[in-house]
Amino acid sequence: MSELTTVARPYAIAAFNFAVEKSAIDDWQAMLAFAAEVSMNDNMHHYMSGAVASGLVTDVFTKVCGEQLNEHGKNLIKVLAENNRLTLLPEISTLYNELKIESEKQINVDVLSAAILSEAQLTKLSAALEKRFDRKVQLNCSVDPTLIAGMIIKAGDTVIDGSVNSQLNRLNDALQA
């Protein structure tokens, strides 16, 4: 996975920088997301396997994408096809999205709680996390009753585990030691 990221990153950065230059960040995000979905289609794997000439791959891929790609998007597909890199499109799309979020000073935060959080709790949590990360926070909330109480917060590489379940596990480990 990290190897794919390493290879895909320059393409994502180039696409993002070009999109910023052309003031088309959202258009490029939509194009890359659509192209990534097309690249994951089982029928497209035959063309992307490297057994077919890159010109034919480019033609088939751009015809399948149709009007979802503008001329610059088609050029990216051509470059990726010539370098046998079309399979990187999902990773390129993901990295592009991360660059977009980073440029908007926004962070996605996954919140796993034992119960559904009220609007007041979400507002308070969002304000506290915005202060901590110095970014606008996008909360992705889900419920896991096995936590007993509390929550687990994941933001990038940061994990804050305030669940009763993990506290009980730590207490258990301390008592056994």
Reported as a single tens digit per residue, the pLDDT across 27-73 is: 999 998 988 888 888 777 776 766 667 677 777 777 777 888 888 88
| 110 and 92 inside one domain | no
Domain carrying residue 137: 105-176
Average pLDDT, the chain: 85
Share of the chain above pLDDT 90, in %: 16
From 53, 72, 101, the end of a domain falls on 101
Among left, alpha and beta (phi > 0; psi -120 to 50; other), residue 141 is beta
Question: Considering Cα of 44, then 38, then 99, then 127, what sign does the dihedral take?
Answer: negative
Can you tell me the distance from the alpha carbon of 38 to that of 21, in angstroms, rounded to the nearest whole number? 26
The three-point CA angle 105-106-108 to 5° equals 155
Whether residues 34 and 115 fall in one domain: no
Q: How many domains does the chain have?
A: 2
Task: Check whether residue 55 and residue 18 sit in a common domain.
Answer: yes
Q: Are residues 96 and 48 part of one domain?
A: yes
For residue 167, the tally of other CB atoms under 10 A from its CB is 14
In this structure, the answer to whether residues 62 and 144 fall within a common structural domain is no
pLDDT for 123 beyond 60: yes
In a shared domain, residues 18 and 91: yes
The answer to whether the CB of 22 falls within 8 A of the CB of 39 is no
The reply to whether 112 and 95 lie within a common domain is: no
